[in-house]
A and B are shown apart, each in its own frame.
Chain A
Amino acid sequence: MNFNLRVWRQKTGEGKGGLVDYKATDVSPHTSFLEMLDVVNERLAEKGEEPIAFESDCREGICGTCSLTIDGEAHGPDHPGAACQLYMRRFKDGATITVEPFRARAFGVVKDLVVDRGALDRIVQAGGFVSARSGSAPEANSILVPKHDADLAMEAAACIGCGACAAACPNASAMLFTSAKVSHLALLPQGRPERTERVLRMVAQMDAEGFGNCTNTYECEAVCPAEISASFIAKLNREYAMATLRKRAGE
């Protein structure tokens, strides 16, 4: 298969960038999208040109490192799945494919297709945890957790932290990301003692990082490789409202 690529090139975070045309030729349909980019990069390096910078690590959709917007969609057309799980058989032979980094105000471009997603780490640092000091835990089966709650918590906890939700959102909102962590911990008895402080701090941090708000467009849910449901955003809003009330009531 052959493809025409239009790839975002940007030397540094401060500089300006633009789309550059490349050809990807003789590509097997069983090649993954990132492997196709590897081949393009090999050829660029052989010619002495600078390869396209893009990040990936596990290449099996779990580490959340890859951060490509392909033909205008975060992670490309094959949902649910990360860009590393996208295979060229999904495209038509001869297609023109545009590749850009994740775009969101809070994600600065580092180089080419690489973005800085430190904002997501800082949201978790603002209370996205249970204060469980090593060695202090009670016997694991001493607190029963209904299967339904554990399963639902797992669905929220499956978030891979890639940031596609914010990249797809017209408001560049990180509500899906934040709601997944808030919900995961609020659904489990171990997370409840800190639920009030947690949701208030995490939402404040999300706002401080420059993420927008949610206007229910559901673009986040549509591109999420981990299939996190937008209903967790409703849960986040409930948690936030309850926490605000509790605070006002002087709790």
Chain B
Amino acid sequence: MIGTLESKVPSGPLASKWSGYKDHARLVSPANRRKLEVIVVGSGLAGGAAAATLGEQGYHVKCFCFQDSPRRAHSIAAQGGINAAKNYQNDGDSVFRLFYDTIKGGDFRSREANVYRLAEVSNLIIDQCVEQGVPFAREYGGLLANRSFGGAQVSRTFYARGQTGQQLLLGAYQSLCRQIDAKTVSMFPHTEMLDLVLVEGHAKGIITRNLVSGKIEVHAADAVVLATGGYGNVFYLSTNARGSNVTATYRAYKKGALFGNPCYTQIHPTCIPVSGQFQSKLTLMSESLRNDGRVWVPAKKGDQRAPSEIPDTERDYYLERKYPSYGNLAPRDISSRSAKEACDDGRGVGPDGRGVFLDFADAIGRLGEKTIRERYGNLFDIYEKITGEDAYKQPMRIYPAVHYTMGGLWVDYNLMSNVPGLHVIGEANFSDHGANRLGASALMQGLADGYFVLPYTLPTYLAGQIGKRPAVDHPAFRQAETEVRARIQKMVNVYGTRTVDSFHRELGLLMWDKCGMARNASGLREALGRIPALREEFWGNVRIPGTGEEYNQSLERAGRVADYLEFAELMCIDALERDESCGGHFREEHQTPEGEALRNDEKFAAVFAWEFQGNGAIETPRLHREALSFESVELAQRSYK
């Protein structure tokens, strides 16, 4: 049983909370660090940065990733950039402004102190990455270049062409490699975490499966850090990598960690539309394209003319019309919903009418094709590869797609969950983006947590844990291992008639339909009725060829889909309980006359953190609320008009 949720936010004025915390936080001496082991699951921006930094500090780190190399974590696919409050452009930026934009962008559903800390350390991240050799874009004088990004009126985004995530991840990966070389970090690639082990209520280890040999292994440590990313693949089609999954965080949830705001999902406005039933994933076109591209649909319904034949007067540049001050740079949730509205209204473009134009003709006319090619060349190339269309000559077609999940395991100011010792960083936690994340903030948060926050907060836990690491033959490990083996065997033994992917596709469609860009109570109730039946069919009829004792990709996917089939229910329960609209969570029952999200601050200015109930069987989870109080910002109706 869990008591009241304590956010453990330090007292004092907002701007000095973090420095005050660091001044008084408990430390672990270098001699003791050598005696402590930390497990880091995931090697993306958050996990890679944390593992490398903890290794540098002298801890023994074991880092795990399911990919064949830590360099392949999905952070690598982030395109656009990373925010920082450097104010290099002298356009009025500041730490407070970045904080304010982030908390407003999140529709006032995140914790003030965490967001302020994020804005505060943002500048250190840029320093750190430049020192690692990240080749950020530069001006001719040799200074760092910036660009603007959705949801902001200043240019604070640092970028490396359209491959910022790749370059930042490789920076973290190289730091990780340095520690592997120094033998402070042991790397376990091709290894998936299948359970969390608690000893006397503390997270003290994990159970893993070696994906090549199928071997089940146990690992004990003094603390466990989950950096396992988001759960966007619950929708089957998303911009996430094929392997991205909820398993690690969901397993921790089943062991008692609270899951915060699972219904907060970000639908990215600029993705390539779906083209066929066998499509395996959706591809994002960086939001930076909206700096120069203009979004429009035909003003008339069912206008089938080629875009070049539609004169300007018969086009509806709907973002510029509805949001004159932000125009095409309106935040993601608003842009996505506007695209859906236009398509629902019968004005969508492309083969099935689920698309809108992103047009570069004006920008090419103003700046020349060469400049546009320099800025976005690789994105135009990706677009042409996938669609076979040349976006220099005709507008791109785009449509929203699931991209990021703001929800995640609940953590306090220390980034520790309610389970002592279990820390959660990056997209895997719920913390900094509220109900909607701004562009170029995911990279910022992942690296902030990994390089500059966790390395200060983790020692406050570890300082009291010296000499308490259990041996791997402790009964808790044996029991967890037995359960993991039994679950795999049970899944393989079903040997029914339906493939794993067919279940995943069906679940994804249901979730997209009922718990996607817009939700309502009756749809959510319908989904809650259908998910258990699908889950039951899975456990009675899934077919997994091969065995558990070998390289078996069907089995890997089955384990993840089995967790999604439970997790989807939690998402819908949360979406139903949150009877308001906020950010990416749009409840159709709650909107302004203009169709904007209508919050209910009196009842819902809170984090919803869910506690797993039941012993094996799934029961309705128990809700815990962390009230959000705002001392430094006024809760305003978000306006980008």
Contacts and interface: CB of A to CB of B under 8 A. Distances in A.
A113 to B, nearest CB: 11
A140 B52 contact: no
B385 A85 contact: yes
B74 A63 contact: yes
B135 A188 contact: yes
A225 to B, nearest CB: 11
B135 A144 contact: no
A131 to B, nearest CB: 6
A138 to B, nearest CB: 7
Nearest to A36: B278
A71 interface: no
Contacts of B545: 44-45, 48-51
B167 interface: yes
Interface residues of A, number: 79
Interface in B147-169: 160-161, 163, 166-167
A65 B276 CA distance: 24
B553 A116 contact: no
Nearest to B275: A30
Contacts of A128: 174, 177
Given A45-B545, A154-B135, A124 B174 contact: yes
Contacts of B128: 132, 134-135, 137
Among the interface residues B69, B77, B126, B133, which one has the most CB atoms of the partner chain A within 10 A? B133
Given A137-B131, A139-B127, A51 B553 contact: yes
Interface stretch (A145-153, A216-224, A231-239): A145-153
A171 interface: no
Interface string A63-84: 1110000000000001001000
A121 interface: yes
A120 interface: yes
A65 B131 contact: no
A65 to B, nearest CB: 5
Contact of A129 (B76, B178, B242, B554): B178
A118 B386 contact: no
Interface stretch (B459-467, B495-503, B603-611): B495-503
A145 B138 contact: yes
A215 interface: no
A111 B551 contact: yes
A241 interface: no
Contacts of A146: 138, 142
B501 A118 contact: no
Nearest to A59: B281
Contacts of A44: 545
A126 B178 CA distance: 8
A31 interface: yes
Contact of B181 (A61, A89, A125, A133): A125
Given A30-B276, A48-B545, A58-B76, A125 B137 contact: no
Nearest to B139: A147
A89 B129 CA distance: 40
Contacts of B52: 134
Contact of A190 (B124, B131, B138, B187): B131
A57 B499 contact: no
A209 interface: no
Given A45-B499, A136-B131, A138-B131, A161 B241 contact: no
A117 interface: yes
Contacts of A60: 77, 281, 283-284, 382
Contacts of A111: 212, 550-551
Given A30-B275, A45-B545, A81 B385 contact: yes
B76 A63 contact: yes
A55 interface: yes
Contact of A140 (B68, B74, B144): B144
Contacts of A55: 68
17 contacts: A45-B500, A45-B543, A50-B546, A63-B72, A63-B77, A64-B72, A89-B388, A121-B177, A127-B181, A129-B177, A129-B178, A130-B131, A138-B131, A147-B138, A147-B140, A150-B138, A154-B167
Given A134-B56, A137-B127, 16 more contacts: A28-B278, A38-B280, A45-B543, A58-B76, A114-B551, A121-B69, A121-B187, A124-B173, A129-B174, A131-B178, A135-B124, A138-B131, A140-B127, A146-B142, A153-B135, A154-B135
Across the A-B interface, the 9 shortest Cβ-Cβ residue pairs? A144-B142, A137-B131, A129-B174, A154-B135, A137-B127, A132-B131, A57-B241, A153-B135, A134-B53
